[in-house]
Amino acid sequence: MDKNKVAILDEILKRVAPYMSNTVSKQKALFKEPWEINFSHALEKVFGADKDKLENAVKGYVRFALDATRLQKKFEKTRQYDHKSYEEAATAVYHNENYMNNLYLPGIFLSHFLWPHHYQQLQFFVNHFKPLVLAKENPQFCDIGVGTGFYSCQMLKISEQVNGNAFDISQSSLNYSKMQIKAFGYENRWGFENRDIILQTPERQWDFLLSVEVLEHLENPVIFLKSLRKMLKKGGYGFISAAVTAANEDHIYLYNTILEVADQLNEAGFTIVKFQEDKAYEAKGDEPVPRNVAFIVT
């Protein structure tokens, strides 16, 4: 029954964006049945029987992916992101309710399953971060820059003993995250707050910390990382990732190498335990390819 949800999404995608018609089949070939089961379950929980809601999400994903492709092609020529301040990006994206709800958030949510490097990052989380959480009694986590709530949901999924808090500057992100968390039935173990943790760093510390693809959205990631370090208990673990050479509407800090991210983590006081780099696709010649790098830190 669940697998029909992926089939329905595939049909919608082929109809609204025929040029993306092989997206689902390529993911199936790469990640096999576990991917399909995982994706189907997420679609069932978040969209249920509401085909219109799913179609709108697919359309948002298509616009999101096309925007990213356009900006990446421009970046290949200039090797620079479009210049904008954090405030300009926040106004254009994070505080733009229409943009967030109809393009950005559904686009990011579906990209966790439809972009190979995003799904590989999720596998890294499940294979290497999840065991650390399971080893802790009554684990508490915070998720900074919660986005769609996807990784908060992954943490809460690990065990009924897991409890979490989320922080974001975008009320649209928090609302979307709340919707997703509630759809999975985890709302009693998760709280959220609209807060800039650089300006108001919580005094509390957590056993585990998540910050997934936030660094490239900032003018000075090190200041943000130092705030994160204050929020992690001694002996705790963080899962921190960044986008490298990946142009997007709100990406303002350009990382050209994973070493640049690692250096900033070290500067902020973190110790790197393990990391994984994932490419969106194989490069042709010296073209810059969008990449994720995820770090487990302590």
100 and 167 both lie in a single domain: no
Tokens of 110: 């579906």
Does pLDDT of 1 surpass 70? no
Q: Please give the average per-residue pLDDT across 19-44, as a whole number.
A: 96
* Domain end call among 96, 114, 132: 114
68 and 180 both lie in a single domain: no
What is the pLDDT at residue 269?
Answer: 98
* Domain end call among 63, 89, 114: 114
127 and 174 both lie in a single domain: yes
244 and 260 both lie in a single domain: yes
170 and 288 both lie in a single domain: yes
Identify the DSSP state of 255. -
192 and 230 both lie in a single domain: yes
Does pLDDT of 271 surpass 90? yes
147 and 204 both lie in a single domain: yes
Number of domains in the chain: 2
Tens digit of each residue's pLDDT (9 = 90 or more) over 198-226: 999 999 999 999 999 999 999 999 999 99
Helix (H) or strand (E) holding 281: none
68 and 79 both lie in a single domain: yes
62 and 51 both lie in a single domain: yes
* Domain end call among 114, 142, 176: 114
Does pLDDT of 107 surpass 50? yes
Question: Which stretches does DSSP call E strand in 169-260?
Answer: 190-194, 206-212, 232-244
What is the pLDDT at residue 4?
Answer: 85
170 and 240 both lie in a single domain: yes
Provide the residue range defining the domain that includes 23.
3-114
- From CA 108, how far away is CA 246, in angstroms rounded? 14
218 and 166 both lie in a single domain: yes
Tens digit of each residue's pLDDT (9 = 90 or more) over 155-199: 999 999 999 999 999 999 999 999 999 999 999 999 999 999 999
- From CA 236, how far away is CA 141, in angstroms rounded? 10
55 and 171 both lie in a single domain: no
% of residues, the chain, pLDDT over 90: 97
- From CA 153, how far away is CA 211, in angstroms rounded? 13
- From CA 101, how far away is CA 203, in angstroms rounded? 31
**Cα–Cα distances in Å, from 144 out to 79, 102, 110, 134, 210?**
29, 22, 20, 21, 6
Tens digit of each residue's pLDDT (9 = 90 or more) over 227-254: 999 999 999 999 999 999 999 999 999 9
Tens digit of each residue's pLDDT (9 = 90 or more) over 134-152: 999 999 999 999 999 999 9
Q: Provide the pLDDT confidence category of residue 2 given band limits of 50, 70 and 90.
A: very low
Query: CATH number of the domain that 283 lies in?
Result: 3.40.50.150
Does pLDDT of 3 surpass 70? no
Mean pLDDT, all residues of the chain: 96
